[in-house]
Amino acid sequence: MGLNLATWLLLLVGLACFVPLCTATQIKTTDTRWKFHLPLPNGVTGAESLAFDGKGEGPYAGVSDGRVLKWGGSAVGWTTFAYNANYRKIPLCTASVVPSEETESMCGRPLGLQFHAKTGDLYIADAYLGLMRVAPDGGEAEVLATGADGVPFNFVNGLDVDQATGDVYFTDSSTTYPRRFNTEIMVNADATGRLLRYDAQTKHVTVLKAGLPYPNGVAVSRDGAHVVVAHTVPCQAFRYFVRGPKAGQYELLADLPGYPDNVRRDNKGGYWVALNQEKQRLDATPATAPAKHLVGVRLNADGVEVEELTAAKGVTLSDVAERNGQLWLGSVELEYVGLFA
């Protein structure tokens, strides 16, 4: 779940994460500017999360009016793939005249997306409506869960599917503040977030870890042994061990050079982490802006940063999805999806 620039100005003053002036290892830098942009349909913004189906089609993207769209290539463009029950019932949801923050609690706001390749089902983390699922042919999504352990979901956010078991791992970023008040989560150092698992067989949701500070993106490791969770504040990634001698443990994987959103597996056993904003440098002054604008990093399997993505000022990323050697770039704020080939 990305944040607007005004929010970051406040955060950088009050509770900035600081980064050392230099790093010990050489890190590859990839500049994503001047590549392809796929404009979203008029009236919608914010392709927060991107997913591809088992046929390799897509990307699919959740957008500001509560729908999940599908990219069908330049000849077809974007079409509606999925929507929630309220989208067809409430006129405001299709009016495109009221700011999305005023309607999203009614119309829904799909954030994390992921397909289960075996069934073809698409799982959706809707910030307001809960954990949802839609069949391979799309249409109206069904609500699978709206709470766990007697506590309602308040800000469902990141999501990934264990392709071997079909289980869904997802985050509830705060049990205190909903998405539209995400600034308060950070300003008040809220640590009521949760990591959860939806069991595909029993249909039961289990709380794996509670008391977390702004848990956001989720990625199941290649072998399914652990789940990586990005924490927007304090700019870190942790991993929860699903099985093995460390089962149930939650440990730091990496300190990050910015405020993370979604995290995705790459094609090398590591992870892409989208960054909405860099950390403030120790030597920063109002007159010395960062030399480059970071929007993402690649971590290896051990959490070591091996590559960074940069972009033009004003670009914010919420997702980096690697597919067939290409990087698809999603942003909760922008009016397009980026493609870096």
Indicate if the pLDDT at residue 41 is higher than 80: yes
Mean pLDDT lowest for which of 83-92, 94-103, 136-145? Answer: 94-103
The residue whose two tokens read 């352990």 is 149
Average pLDDT over residues 72-78: 96
Asked if the bond preceding 99 is cis, omega within 30° of 0, the reply is no
Beta bridge partners of 122: 115, 134
Contact 145, 82 (CB under 8 A): no
Q: Are strands 130-134 and 28-31 parallel, antiparallel or unpaired?
A: unpaired
Indicate if the pLDDT at residue 299 is higher than 80: yes
328: Cα separation from own chain's centroid: 13
Alpha carbon distance 193, 213 (integer Å) = 6
Task: Quote the number of domains for the chain.
Answer: 1
Contacts of 197 (CB under 8 A, 6+ apart): 167, 168, 169, 170, 205, 206, 208
Please report, for the domain that includes residue 263, its CATH number.
2.120.10.30
Mean pLDDT lowest for which of 14-28, 185-199, 312-326? Answer: 14-28
What is the average pLDDT value for the chain, to the nearest integer? 90
- Closest residue by Cα to residue 54 from 336, 323, 326, 325: 323
Q: Encode 52-81: b = buried (16+ Cβ within 10 Å), e = exposed.
A: bbeeeebbbbbbbbbbbbbbeeeeeebeeb
Indicate if the pLDDT at residue 147 is higher than 90: yes
Indicate if the pLDDT at residue 229 is higher than 90: yes
Average pLDDT over residues 91-103: 76
pLDDT band at 289 (very low <50, low <70, confident <90, very high): low
Task: For 317-329, write each residue's pLDDT tens digit.
Answer: 999 999 999 999 9
Task: For 148-186, write each residue's pLDDT tens digit.
Answer: 999 999 999 999 999 999 999 999 999 999 999 988 998
How many CA within 13 A on the CB side of residue 159? 30
pLDDT: which is higher, 45 or 292: 45
Put residue 130 in one of left, alpha, beta given phi > 0 → left and psi -120 to 50 → alpha: left
- Radius of gyration from C-alpha coordinates of the chain: 19
pLDDT band at 9 (very low <50, low <70, confident <90, very high): very low
pLDDT band at 13 (very low <50, low <70, confident <90, very high): very low
Task: Please give the pLDDT value at position 282.
Answer: 45
- Residue 185: what are its φ and ψ, rounded to 5°? -60, -40
How many CA within 13 A on the CB side of residue 194? 21
| 3-state secondary structure (DSSP) of residue 118 | coil
Task: Please give the pLDDT value at position 10.
Answer: 41
Task: Please give the pLDDT value at position 283.
Answer: 47
* DSSP tag of 8: H
CB atoms inside a 10 Å sphere around CB 136 = 14
Of the chain, the percentage scoring pLDDT greater than 70 comes to 88
Cβ burial of 217 (10 Å; 0-12, 13-18, 19+) is: buried
Task: For 251-284, write each residue's pLDDT tens digit.
Answer: 999 999 999 999 999 999 999 999 998 886 544 5
Domain interval for residue 152:
5-340
- Residue 79: what are its φ and ψ, rounded to 5°? -130, 160
